Amino acid sequence: MTLAIEQILNGVQFGVMLFLLAAGLTLVFGIMRIINLAHGSFYMIGAYGAAFAAQQTGSLVLAVLAGLAAAAAAGAVIEYVVIRRLYSRDYVQQVLATFGLILFINEGATMLFGREPLYVPMPAALSGVVQIIPGILYPAYRLVIIATGLLVAVALSLFVNKTRMGMLVRAGSTHREMVRALGVNVRLLYTFVFGLGALLAGLGGVLAGPVLAVQVGMGEQILILTFVVVVIGGVGSIRGAFAGAMIVGITDTLLRVLLPVVLRSVMTVSQADALGAGLSSMGIYLVMAAVLLIRPQGLVRVQS
Amino acid sequence: MFKADTAAVAKSAPRRAMLRVAGLVALALFALLLPRVATALGNPALISLATRMVIYAIAAASLNLILGYGGMVSFGHAAYFGVGGYAVGILYYHFSAGEPFLGFIPGTNQFLVALAAAILTSALFALVLGALSLRTAGLQFIMITLAFAQMVFFLFVSLKYYGGDDGLIVRRRDVLFNLNMADDTTYYFVCLAVAVVYHVVFWRLVGSQFGLVLGGIRQNERRLAAIGISTYRYKLVAFVIAGAGAGLAGALMANFAKFVSPDMLNWSRSGELMIMVILGGGATLLGPAVGAVLLIGLETVLTGWTEHWQFYLGPILILIALFTRDGILSLFKDGSGGRD
Amino acid sequence: MGIRAGLSGVAIAVLAATSAYAQTPVKIGLITTLSGPGGYLGADIRDGFMLAVEMGGGKLGGIPVEVAIEDDGFKPGNGKQIANKFLQNDKIKLFTGIVFSNIANATVPDIVDAGAVYVSPNAAPSNFSGKDCNKNYFVVSWQNDALHEAGGQDATNLGYKKAFLLALNYQAGKDALTGFKRYFKGEIIGEVYTRLDQTDFATEMAQIRAANPDVVYQFHPGGLGITFARQYQQAGLLGTIPMVVAEPSMDSTIVKAVGDAAVGVNVSAHWNTDFDNDANKAFMTAWRQKYGADRVPTFYASQGYDTALAMGAGLKGVNGNLDDIDAFDAAMRKADFHSVRGAFKFGNNQHPIQDWYALRVEKGADGKPFLKTLGKIMSDHGDAYAKDCKL
């Protein structure tokens, strides 16, 4: 029982991480209709920024700020130099250009930081376990990740639904021409949305650093699952991104835990574990396929 | 102004046709003489490099059918490349182990049989995955093709029996009549022959009624649907044919490298195929081949200079995306190519 | 003019004769992993190997050598490609360097099939140790299983009764747990194989906690070892459930990166920096001189160094002439060199027969954790596959 709870918490933590990435991506997709393959790069830049600052200064606060700043700055620069010119282009050109961006950024990171992973020291206060309910132990830091992610989800939801800027963001997704006709500076809106997406992704990277290893390519690994989250949740919807992220995170984790156990009854442990790991990875895509068959627009439909 | 244009076009038409024929002849000569030249230069590795280029040319050409001519941005094409390769690998494995696949399909080391199996299997995968993916369009289609390809990737990673992550070794190349397939030059010519046949078939296909409809779908699907054409069906058929072509290339690759691994299905490989098509120019017969030669050639040359070659390739790709209408070949066209 | 022609003819003849002694260097192909989380393993092997070449003045066993080094990027396909390039273009006949067993599986067959020799400084999968052994294939490090047999014995000696096992899901991982189980006399209450690209072990930590074993035995080499150890500590397991590992999961780089969280972990090993024999003292002195006291060599470096010495012994035996590979093989088999680990000889399957030691991570006088040698676990231990090899 305690094992089940701990695994569910693991799933939620993974889901929260996916949400941070998916939220920005779904906004960029929905509002700007741009496919940005390099979204995972902001995750990596945030992680590297925080890791580097942590190593140089040893300060937790500075590390977080540095990671966020790096990601946001990268987002702004990339939007200005590359993305801006892609708004009117075909998806094909967008794919090619953002793929080129990935190569450039990844190799640049390799040149700056080398090919070996960076290990971010865990802040001492958070490095142990916490008893959330008597009998259930869970790593403190991962609880922080969950809490941060939930806070961000609430904040984003409030922002999009209750503020004027948020209303513009929503309108920009569903009634783009109208927004433009009303004289809103759409260019600025786009830059803002893109920067916000980069910032959120960077936050994900900053949080991931102390747990995982910070290395080149970490963004691409999580990016494809992020795409699945966006497709399941519905392009353009933050609520959808949250729902999709939770579904994917928890399903993936539970499958990874349960499938090998089931398979071991029919084959060797090593084969069962490999097949279980592979099948559970495939499982998410099957879920996506199922969602698409029933609701091709995703769980939360955003009119456009 | 209009009259002068048509006159100019009319005058240059036979000229262009002559240039085209001359170009093809030059290409053919170059391709045929390459092994001689390479050995004379003391660099036999060039033959292997050229073989790789030929194989990727076929793969890129297959993607061109749906991406260039059909306008479907499929980001998962490497999946079919990998499936074709694994078909060869698995058949060879069962051949050398002596036990049949799934209990009743015998293994084989016969080149033509393995190729046929590869084509059929990848066509089947394309049918299933295409049927599902083509229910969507635009952004979603791109993401879904990517996701499904990733799913197939994980399928092969999970098959520890066939090597999983470590890949599957094909100890000897498949047998074709009495040719010495182990010889790199012989195998190069085999691949070249396959490539020529493939491109001829491709050429006839896009010139046919089917090709016309496909082009129409790319330009304005709604209009064609309005006149009663089942666009979904046409797109699916094109998707399956494209998948089969990629499978063919994958089978050639499996024999070439004597090794298959899930890496063949990696999403960045799908990206590379797209780059080849776009670089060389979509909706042209030889554009993807040009793209394949360019990308692989560029990679090989740049790797020699610096290990950080991707740092330079990235911006090159960005520039091409931003500033060319339609790939490298379009720079040499007079704007009257396949695109509007 | 006739005299000048004659003299130049004599000069040429003399030059030709003496050039037989001023040999063209023997080319060695070193294919290793230099990028990714496993990158420092390849870097250490390379540096250990090249240190021996340097100490020999550009020679091994008195024969000049030229080493071509390339990165396989942890991809079996790359290793294969590089090997074929070295074989075809550069006509290299002597290979070494591979860190990981999956890359070895893809690369070694091509090398030995072509009639060249491969001497492994690390990877030694079980499939090449027994019936698929090859006269052109030598292993200087250890046979994969044997490394973990020592670990199993160590765990038994320490009195643990219930073990939870984890390993990376590839050939070496499977070999690892097979070897451990051969010598561990207690009960296995859990066995998990993790994915090669997995960096988050949260689900595994939860499983360990639920199973509540006496000891955890895990095999995650290189950077993954660092990640595992850190997450083990973050999950609160470090203080409560002891870990026994083989040296790849706790090499000196991992110890340094993990820090205090590593103190107390038991490690089975065939070499440590503090070994007392002459060869090791020479190696450690040369290494410290070149790389400073801060960069502690891992056992991978010692293996790269030993491989170079082994190759040197082979080359010396044939006077640098690789035309007769069988003669080279025979010279290699004699293992006529002084290994930094002390006793060393080749078994009939050309894998090592050596001693195994128990180490523990302890806190040094300077407050930094380090690996301390405690005692011997096994002497003159070969491996379980030698009997299946027909050599």
Q: What is the pLDDT along chain A (304 residues), one digit of tens a residue?
A: 778 888 999 999 999 999 999 998 998 888 888 889 999 999 999 999 999 998 888 888 899 999 999 999 999 999 999 998 888 888 888 888 999 999 999 999 988 988 778 888 777 777 778 887 777 888 888 999 999 999 999 999 898 888 888 888 777 767 777 777 877 777 888 888 899 999 999 999 999 988 888 888 888 888 888 989 998 998 888 889 999 999 999 998 988 888 888 888 888 877 788 788 778 888 888 888 888 778 877 888 765 4
For residue C92, how far is the Cα from the chain centroid? 21
- CA-based nearest distance C106→chain B, Å: 7
Average pLDDT on C67-73 reads 90
Contacts of A164-169 with CB under 8 Å at 24 or more apart are: A165/A192, A169/A27, A169/A31, A169/A193
How far apart (Å, rounded) are the C-alpha atoms in residues A273 and A256? 9
**Which positions ≥6 away from B3 have C-beta within 8 Å?**
none
CB contact under 8 A, A296 and B75: no
What the block records as the tokens of C159 is 């009195």
| pLDDT computed for residue A96 by the predictor | 86
| Chain A interface mutation, best of B125, B322, B325, highest count of A Cβ atoms under 10 Å | B322
How far apart (Å, rounded) are the C-alpha atoms in residues B168 and B117? 17
Interface check for C80 against chain B (CB to CB < 8 A): the answer is yes
Q: Is the dihedral of CA A246, A250, A256, A260 positive or negative?
A: negative
| Chain B interface mutation, best of A32, A36, A96, A232, highest count of B Cβ atoms under 10 Å | A96
User: C-alpha angle B54/B60/B61, rounded to 5°?
Assistant: 90
CB contact under 8 A, A142 and C36: no
Q: Which chain A residues are within 8 Å of B160, Cβ to Cβ?
A: 270-271, 274-275
Q: Are C125 and C104 in contact (CB under 8 A)?
A: yes
Q: Return the minimum-mean-pLDDT range out of A52-66, B35-49, B52-66.
A: B35-49
Dihedral class, residue C66 (left if φ above 0, else alpha if ψ from -120 to 50, else beta) = beta
Each residue of A213-228: pLDDT tens digit?
888 888 888 888 898 9
Q: Are A243 and A233 in contact (CB under 8 A)?
A: yes
β-strand partners of C118 = C95, C137
- CA-based nearest distance A58→chain B, Å: 30
The answer, yes or no, to whether residue B139 has pLDDT greater than 90, is: no
Q: Which CATH class is domain C145-269+356-386?
A: alpha beta
What the block records as the tokens of A152 is 């961000």
User: Residue A231 is nearest to which of B75, B144, B274, comparing CB atoms?
Assistant: B144
B290 is a domain residue: no
B308 is a domain residue: no
| pLDDT computed for residue C348 by the predictor | 92
Q: Answer with the residue of higher pLDDT: C13 or C258.
A: C258
Interface check for A278 against chain B (CB to CB < 8 A): the answer is yes
Which run of H or E residues covers position A140?
helix A140-162
For residue C84, give the nearest of A94, B201, B52, A123 by alpha carbon: B52
B88 is a domain residue: yes
- CA-based nearest distance A160→chain B, Å: 23
Q: Is C284 helix (H, G, I), strand (E, B) or coil?
A: helix
How far apart (Å, rounded) are the C-alpha atoms in residues C208 and B21? 70
For residue C76, give the nearest of A282, B182, B264, A278 by alpha carbon: B264
Each residue of C128-181: pLDDT tens digit?
998 889 999 999 999 999 999 999 999 999 999 999 999 988 888 888 999 999
| pLDDT computed for residue B220 by the predictor | 85
Interface check for C173 against chain A (CB to CB < 8 A): the answer is yes
Average pLDDT on C273-302 reads 93
Interface check for B313 against chain A (CB to CB < 8 A): the answer is yes
- b/e per residue, A198-208, with b = 16+ CB within 10 A? bbbbbbbbbbb
Interface check for A118 against chain C (CB to CB < 8 A): the answer is no
Each residue of C330-351: pLDDT tens digit?
999 999 999 999 989 999 999 9
Interface check for A124 against chain C (CB to CB < 8 A): the answer is no
| pLDDT computed for residue A224 by the predictor | 86
**Domain span including residue B180:** 31-266
What the block records as the tokens of B97 is 């182990």
**Burial status of residue B340 (CB atoms within 10 A of its CB: 0-12, 13-18, 19 or more):** exposed
Interface check for B140 against chain A (CB to CB < 8 A): the answer is yes
| Chain B interface mutation, best of C103, C195, C197, C224, highest count of B Cβ atoms under 10 Å | C195
Query: What is the β-pairing status of strands C117-120 and C94-96?
Result: parallel
CB contact under 8 A, A296 and B140: yes
Q: Answer with the residue of higher pLDDT: B332 or A143.
A: A143
Average pLDDT on C22-32 reads 87
Q: What is the DSSP letter of A214?
A: B
Q: Which chain C residues are within 8 Å of B262, Cβ to Cβ?
A: none
Q: Which chain A residues are within 8 Å of C256, Cβ to Cβ?
A: none
User: Residue B263 is nearest to which of C71, C75, C195, comparing CB atoms?
Assistant: C75
Q: Are C104 and C98 in contact (CB under 8 A)?
A: yes
Mean pLDDT rounded to a whole number for chain C: 89
CB contact under 8 A, B167 and C169: no
Q: Phi and psi (nearest 5°) for A138?
A: -150, 140
| Chain B interface mutation, best of C69, C102, C134, highest count of B Cβ atoms under 10 Å | C102
The answer, yes or no, to whether residue B157 has pLDDT greater than 50, is: yes
**Which positions ≥6 away from A148 have C-beta within 8 Å?**
A16, A203, A207
CB contact under 8 A, B154 and A33: no
Interface check for C275 against chain A (CB to CB < 8 A): the answer is no
Break chain C into its structural domains and give their ranges: 26-142+275-346, 145-269+356-386
Q: Answer with the residue of higher pLDDT: B2 or B21.
A: B21
| pLDDT computed for residue C19 by the predictor | 42
CB contact under 8 A, C76 and B259: yes
B159 is a domain residue: yes
| pLDDT computed for residue B85 by the predictor | 96
Interface check for C174 against chain A (CB to CB < 8 A): the answer is yes
Neighbours of chain B (3+ CB pairs under 8 A): A, C
Q: Which chain A residues are within 8 Å of B75, Cβ to Cβ?
A: 95
User: Residue C77 is nearest to which of B43, B164, B259, comparing CB atoms?
Assistant: B259
How far apart (Å, rounded) are the C-alpha atoms in residues C163 and C154? 12
| pLDDT computed for residue B10 by the predictor | 58
How far apart (Å, rounded) are the C-alpha atoms in residues C187 and C214? 10
How far apart (Å, rounded) are the C-alpha atoms in residues B302 and B296? 10
Average pLDDT on B200-228 reads 88
Residue bearing tokens 């012994």: C313
**Which positions ≥6 away from B76 have C-beta within 8 Å?**
B129, B133, B145, B146, B147, B148, B149, B150, B152, B267, B270
How far apart (Å, rounded) are the C-alpha atoms in residues C17 and C15? 5
Relative orientation angle of helices B2-40 and B184-207, to the nearest 10 degrees: 160
B1 is a domain residue: no
| pLDDT computed for residue C385 by the predictor | 92
Per-residue pLDDT band for B334 (boundaries 50, 70, 90) equals very low
**Burial status of residue A151 (CB atoms within 10 A of its CB: 0-12, 13-18, 19 or more):** exposed
Query: What is the β-pairing status of strands C117-120 and C137-139?
Result: parallel
Q: Is the dihedral of CA A249, A250, A255, A261 positive or negative?
A: positive
The answer, yes or no, to whether residue B335 has pLDDT greater than 70, is: no
How far apart (Å, rounded) are the C-alpha atoms in residues C36 and C42? 10
Residue bearing tokens 């995650």: C220
CB contact under 8 A, B315 and A228: no
ipTM value, please give it.
0.84
The answer, yes or no, to whether residue B338 has pLDDT greater than 50, is: no
Interface check for C88 against chain B (CB to CB < 8 A): the answer is yes
Q: What is the DSSP letter of A115?
A: S
Torsion of CA B275, B276, B278, B282, to 10 degrees: -150
How far apart (Å, rounded) are the C-alpha atoms in residues B340 and B150? 33
Interface check for A6 against chain C (CB to CB < 8 A): the answer is yes
**Which positions ≥6 away from A290 have C-beta within 8 Å?**
none
What number of CA atoms fall less than 13 Å from residue B133's CA on the CB side?
29
For residue B295, how far is the Cα from the chain centroid? 13
| pLDDT computed for residue C7 by the predictor | 55
Q: Is B208 helix (H, G, I), strand (E, B) or coil?
A: coil
How far apart (Å, rounded) are the C-alpha atoms in residues C92 and C76? 20
Task: Give the B window 144-163 contacts with A, CB below 8 Å.
Answer: 144, 146-148, 150-151, 154-161
Q: Does the domain spanning C26-142+275-346 belong to CATH 3.40.50.300?
A: no
Task: Give the B window 238-277 contacts with A, CB below 8 Å.
Answer: 267-268, 271, 274-275
Q: Are C331 and C317 in contact (CB under 8 A)?
A: yes
Interface check for B127 against chain A (CB to CB < 8 A): the answer is no
CB contact under 8 A, A95 and B159: no
Q: Which chain A residues are within 8 Å of B267, Cβ to Cβ?
A: 220, 224
β-strand partners of C70 = C31
| pLDDT computed for residue C73 by the predictor | 83
Q: Answer with the residue of higher pLDDT: B190 or B97.
A: B190
Residue B221 CB: number of other CB atoms within 10 A?
17
| pLDDT computed for residue C350 by the predictor | 94
Number of domains in chain B: 1
How far apart (Å, rounded) are the C-alpha atoms in residues C387 and C391? 9
How far apart (Å, rounded) are the C-alpha atoms in residues C331 and C325? 10
Q: Are A274 and C197 in contact (CB under 8 A)?
A: no
What number of CA atoms fall less than 13 Å from residue C343's CA on the CB side?
12
| pLDDT computed for residue B6 by the predictor | 61
Q: Are C277 and C340 in contact (CB under 8 A)?
A: yes
β-strand partners of A11 = none
B335 is a domain residue: no
Q: Is the dihedral of CA C166, C171, C176, C178 positive or negative?
A: positive
Residue B267 CB: number of other CB atoms within 10 A?
21
CB contact under 8 A, B144 and A293: no
**Which positions ≥6 away from C39 have C-beta within 8 Å?**
A115, A116, C33, C222, C223
Per-residue pLDDT band for B339 (boundaries 50, 70, 90) equals very low
| pLDDT computed for residue B64 by the predictor | 94
| Chain B interface mutation, best of A21, A86, A224, highest count of B Cβ atoms under 10 Å | A224
How far apart (Å, rounded) are the C-alpha atoms in residues A9 and A246? 11
B81 is a domain residue: yes
User: Residue A137 is nearest to which of C36, C209, C233, comparing CB atoms?
Assistant: C209
The pTM for the full model equals 0.84
Per-residue pLDDT band for C20 (boundaries 50, 70, 90) equals very low
Per-residue pLDDT band for C298 (boundaries 50, 70, 90) equals very high
Domains C26-142+275-346 and C145-269+356-386 share a fold: yes
Q: Answer with the residue of higher pLDDT: B219 or A247.
A: A247
Per-residue pLDDT band for C197 (boundaries 50, 70, 90) equals confident
